[in-house]
Structure 1
Amino acid sequence: MKSRNPVWTSRWHGTTFRVRYQETDQMGVVYHANYLSWFESGRTEMFRELGFAYRSLENMGVFLPVTTADLQFKSPARYDDLVAVYARLTTFGALRVVYEYEIRRLAGTETGEPGASALAGLSAPADPGQLPGELLVTGSTSHVWLNTDWKPVRLDRVLPELFLAITMALRKEGGAV
């Protein structure tokens, strides 16, 4: 049986920021739940780079809540590290969406170093082995399209123009398999 959710290998979209003191725990490392917030930042910025904003989706009457989350911790991030959150879509369908993430520590970007804060809006090749920085966390999240009554909907039926626009944006960047 053929899957109704096409698999995509879109390019990685990245955003950078410094780890704030409040994001660390008593052990001096980033508290594990904060990585999920960083995943959210990565996916919303990726969607924005594709030409869409989550707020506009909600204004159109659809939500995209997380239904599952998976994280693998490789090495901890620490206060004041400059990190990059990379996100890409691996599945985009009428009912569900799956994102993949990598969080990496960027080397040579100490506080006050010229250009260290000018790394926002990173984009990268599809091969994760080519992403810059030390790998800290990998993971994925699955999402389901819902209406304002929190009932599952098929995006291609309730907002076919949006479904087509997102599909075309992904194809334009070379993501269709």
Structure 2
Amino acid sequence: MIHKTTFRVRYKETDQMGLVHHSNYPVWFEVGRTEMIRELGLSYGELERQGILLPVVDLHCRFIASARYDDEVKILTRVGEVRGPKLVFQYDVQKADTKDLLARGKTTHLWVDTSMKRVSLKETHPKVYQKLSAVVVRPGDEGE
């Protein structure tokens, strides 16, 4: 499953050169994964009420081309790995009209309880684990 989130670049996201500032891409990644989680019938709020948290422990972003104010961009979000306490999301940020790749990224998360102790989602929340495992995109299945 590849989840698509589309929006327009806001003026406040650009720098003095008129380009989207690099600090916005991790925020856009969060938008993509939050919307993907929601589409799966889950929510971060509900997961937190159940006592499981999902902090980012690693983030990578490769910038390929620039976006500018009022460009329509699309975030393609997919689950790349679900294993033990580890969950990896992968992202492509594209110009919506041309599909030109602007950035490619990845975030690694760990499932933890409220005391920040790692938990195995498969053991503690098997239904959530099953939903996420079912949408892992394998290499080669990444086309839009």
TM-score (norm 2): 0.88
Matches within 5 A, 1:45-124: 45-107=35-97
* Cα distance in structure 2, aligned partners of 1:52 and 1:149: 22
Aligned to 1:40: 30
- The higher radius of gyration belongs to 1
Aligned to 1:170: 135
User: Following TM superposition, where does structure 1 have runs of at least 4 consecutive aligned residues deviating by more than 6 angstroms?
Assistant: none
> How far apart are 1:165 and its partner, in Å?
4.2
Which secondary structure does the structure 2 equivalent of 1:42 belong to? helix
CA RMSD of aligned residues (A): 1.8
Aligned to 1:114: none
Identical-pair percentage:
42
Q: Work out whether residues 40 and 131 of structure 2, in 8 Å CA contact, stay in contact via their aligned partners in 1.
A: no
> How far apart are 1:83 and its partner, in Å?
0.4
TM-score (norm 1): 0.73
> How far apart are 1:176 and its partner, in Å?
7.0
Q: Work out whether residues 97 and 143 of structure 1, in 8 Å CA contact, stay in contact via their aligned partners in 2.
A: yes
Q: Work out whether residues 170 and 176 of structure 1, in 8 Å CA contact, stay in contact via their aligned partners in 2.
A: no
- Cα distance change, pair 159–87 in 1 and its aligned pair in 2 (3 A): same
Q: Which runs of 5+ in 1 are unaligned?
A: 1-10, 108-131
Aligned to 1:25: 15
**Aligned partner (choices 148, 151, 163) of residue 114 of structure 2:** 148
Flag the structure with more relative contact order, 1 or 2, with Cα contacts below 8 A and sequence separation at least 6. 1
Aligned residue pairs total 139
Q: Which runs of 5+ in 2 are unaligned?
A: 140-144
CA offsets per residue over residues 37-80 of structure 1, 9 Å max, x none?
00000011111112211111111111111111111111111110
Which secondary structure does the structure 2 equivalent of 1:133 belong to? coil
The structure in which a higher percent of residues are strand is 2
> How far apart are 1:90 and its partner, in Å?
0.8
> How far apart are 1:16 and its partner, in Å?
0.5
* Cα distance in structure 1, aligned partners of 2:124 and 2:96: 41
* Cα distance in structure 2, aligned partners of 1:78 and 1:91: 32
Which secondary structure does the structure 1 equivalent of 2:22 belong to? coil
Q: Which amino acid aligns with 1:159?
A: H
- Cα distance change, pair 69–176 in 1 and its aligned pair in 2 (3 A): closer
